[in-house]
Structure formats: C-alpha cells, structure tokens
Structure 1
Amino acid sequence: MRIGNGYDVHRLAPGQKLVLGGVEIPFECGLIGWSDADVLTHAIMDSLLGAAALGDIGLYFPPGDPKFKGISSLKLLEQVTALLAEKGFGIINVDSVIVAEEPKLRGHVDTMRKHLAKAMGIDPGRVGIKASTSEQLGFVGREEGMAAWAVALVDEK
C-alpha cells in the first residue's frame, strides 16, 4: 500500500462558477483557474498521483494548454484514475478537507462524494470530505480564496 497527499488553492472572484467535487455550488463568487478550478478535485488528483509516485497534475494537465481550458476536473480525475490503473494501482480510499469561510458546504458533501467516487470507480463510502473554516485567518479567512487538502491510499494490484 502507498499513501499520497495533495494540496491546492484557488483565488475567489465574483462572477465565476464555484465547483467543488464536481458539484456547482450556488454562491456569488467562484474560483479562478484554467480548468473549472475545482480545488477539491485537484487536491485529490495530486494525492493519487503522489501515492503512485507519478508526479502532479501540472505534469499531465498544464495550465495554458487550450485542451484543458474550462474542462471539468472530474474528467481529469477519470484520466488520473485510468493512469493509475494502467500503472497497476487501485484506489483504496481518499480523505479530504475543504477550507473556506463561505459558503457553508455540509449540504453538498454527499453529492460531492458520489461524483468523485464515480469518477474514481470506487464506492462513495471510500471518499471522505470534510469542510472547515480558517477562523478568519489568512487568505481563506479574508475570503480571498479556498484551499483543499487530500490524502489517498492506493494499492499495487
């Protein structure tokens, strides 16, 4: 078994869509990024790639590449999952934390888990998502952005 961790952060801006775990969340601001800026899914992808010692998402999906402009991060997660399988790895579970002052995310967590699990081909019971705040500290506390951390456990087949 191998473990990997991932981290991602994106800046908030008015007029952008807020997508977390593949779910569009109603909010007056969204995250800025080359893809859909899904900070949670990006952290999960990095944790999976790290567990398999396969680099990070920037290696496979570089910002600025036109084919990834606005793409759903769930599609990228499907590609990461396929890469892991090709290299002989299966996903055991992932656990994650989204850090944001607003909006409140608890009501969206189950849907996020289902979307992420489907993209990884695992049971939703193997996907943990927690939402927290930064107690008004730092860039997240000032509502300038959001961050996410993830840990993945994979096994060699």
Structure 2
Amino acid sequence: MRCTHYHGLSCRSSFSSLSSSCSVVPHIFLAGHSGGADIVTRTLYHFAGSSTAAYIDGAVVYGDPSTTLNQTYNAKGVTGSTGFLHRPTAQTTAINNGYRYYGWSYDNPSIQNPTYYPTVRAYCNTDDWACRNPIAGLWNAPGHNAYTSKTQDAYNWFDYLVTNAL
C-alpha cells in the first residue's frame, strides 16, 4: 500500500480501509528516505493522538531533513542533530509522545525494568547533509544515500516490535 498525500488524508482512509477489510488488525509500518522521511514524520505528527495513530505499529526514517535535536527516537549510536528543514518543537514532541510501547529495550536488553520506548526509529549518518545541517559544501556527500547498511537493523527492529513489544 502506498499513501503519500502530504497531510496524511489519503493515508487515514487507506489505513481505515485496510483495517476494516482484514480479518485481523494489520501491522502497518512506515518507512522513508530523505523527502520520504519528511513525509513519514509529517504523517506521524498529523495522526499523533488520533485513533488513526493506533494503526501505525512503527516507522523508520533515513536522512530525514526535518530532524530536530529533541527527538527521542534516534537509532542506537545516532547523535542528535538538526536537519535543514527541522520541524517545530511541538511537532517533534507530539511524535515523541504519540508513538511508544511499554516494555523492554530493543537496543539494550540488559535493562531490567520495563518502560516506554519509541516505535519510531531515525537514522542519520554523520556525513549526511540533509539531517546534519549545516555541513557546508557537502551537498553531494555520499552519506545521504548510504543507508543500505542500516536496513537489516531496521528490519530486525520492526520484527522485534511485532514479536516482542506490541
């Protein structure tokens, strides 16, 4: 299923249609790179706090130009940064608080006490100009299109969410 309407309106009807036509509630995961990552995070913000948000089990973004320092959903090892289209704090807070699960950590299984963890995961390479603005003169740095090595981790994390967290 593909839903790319900027404000998420077609996504809402797609999610509702999908969930009502399935005999079991489907697992819906969103993923995007660069401009697609921006659409995913805007969709997450748009649905945060709504009944539609319950349909979204997880999301992964790579090289998101709307990255902000206060997002709590960076993948392990990713330091905070600000993208060149950084989103307003209120939008990031809505995503931080709107997509969480209660349980154990995927990244640190030695943590003994359950708590809330994000169901959104962001990857931003250190030389990615889009999510690490400003990196002067590096508009064509290879880091923005070098996320292939992160796809297995994202897949494993989605699998963890389905089998252990949700």
TM-score under structure 2 length normalisation:
0.29
* Higher fraction of strand: 1
Question: Which protein is bigger by CA-based radius of gyration?
Answer: 2
TM-score under structure 1 length normalisation:
0.30
Q: With a CA cutoff of 8 Å and minimum separation of 6, indicate the structure with the bigger relative contact order.
A: 1
